[in-house]
Structures are given as C-alpha cells and as structure tokens.
Structure 1
Amino acid sequence: MDYYREKHPGCRFLVSSDDLSFVKRSFGAYTDVLFTPGSVREVDMALLAFCDHSIITLGSFSFWSGYLCGGEVVYPDISAMTSYPFQRTWYQFGQLKNFTPLPP
C-alpha cells in the first residue's frame, strides 16, 4: 500500500476478501481503505475491475480482478518450490508488462 501511496498521493484502496472480518481488523484503522460488500463475489469482482490499479495476492480471483482493471498490478514476488501459475515466471511468460513484482 505504501508503494501506491508514494506513487499516487491521495489514492484510496478498495479491499475485497472472503474473510471480511479479518481484513477489517487488519485495515480498518486506515482512513484511505474501503471494503467491498463481500456478500456476492461477482459484485466484488466488478467493483475491483473498475479500480485504476491493483494489489493482488497469489490466487485466481486476485489475478482476474487485477487483469480486468487494466492498470498497474503489484503482486508479491515469492518463489514456490513447485511450478505455480501466480508467480513472476508466469506473468513474464504471459508478457503482462503491467504486473509489477514487489518483495513480500
């Protein structure tokens, strides 16, 4: 989040999760963070797709929400012991130049 706060002063964050109580406990104190309703995943995906940029985790829901939004997408740059689709080599192979790896 600090990456985007520095790059885009005044930005706001929209957080989606299948565990809203956890993310609200984790991010609820930040005044620049809003939360999706979380009750219908298609609504959450649509809301995230309207964002300018994304911060994603290593899963298909995150990937597609970032891909559909079309802006810069930052993801954790981790190495998996086995081939895993949502890591740097996969994004490079797909030539997804708007996907930026950040250290975890």
Structure 2
Amino acid sequence: ESRVSEVREGVVRTYTVRPEDFGLARASIGELLGGDREQNAEIIRDILRGEPGPRRDIVLMNAAAALVAGARARDLKEGVELAARSIDSGAARSKLESLIRLTRELAT
C-alpha cells in the first residue's frame, strides 16, 4: 500500500491506496524485481504485449498516478483503466516502438 498526498485547488488530501482498490493483486518485491538491461527490456515488452501479472499491475498503478498528475484522469481508478486500455489496445507498445525508432535515427 502507498500513502498519497494530493493537492487540488489548494487543498491537500492524504490517503492510502491499495492495489486491491483497483482490482489488482498485492505482490512481493521479489515478484517485481527486474534484472540486467536485456531482462528489463524483455519485461517491458511482455507487459506491453499484455502479459498479466504483478509487473503489469505496478506499471498500471504508476501510469495511473502520472495520468492523474497530468490531468488526463480524474482519479487513480480512471487512470488504471486508461493505462490498461492503452496497453491492451497496443497503443503503448506502438508509442514505445516509435520512440525507439526516433532514438536510433537521432543516434546515427
């Protein structure tokens, strides 16, 4: 679980969020650990291919927080839903592939 402090219209609200609040399962640190850069790249590819599991869940939670902070989602629940749709539709994978192509072009 995580403690969140949110500022809206000058008012600070602090609360606790749990994965279960969003239909996600709790995970141990061991289930979330990555590895070397090749392993981490494969983990990201698996997540963006829609592979379910604790790593996807933590990505959904972090993406949800970013979507709320960027005013793209009203709350974390909506953010999780938007992030899941982006992954499941292939949009997130497509965006990453575009970024990889651009990075390679700029490096040459």
TM-score by length of 2: 0.30
By percentage of residues, which structure has more helix?
2
TM-score by length of 1: 0.31
- Structure index of larger Rg: 2
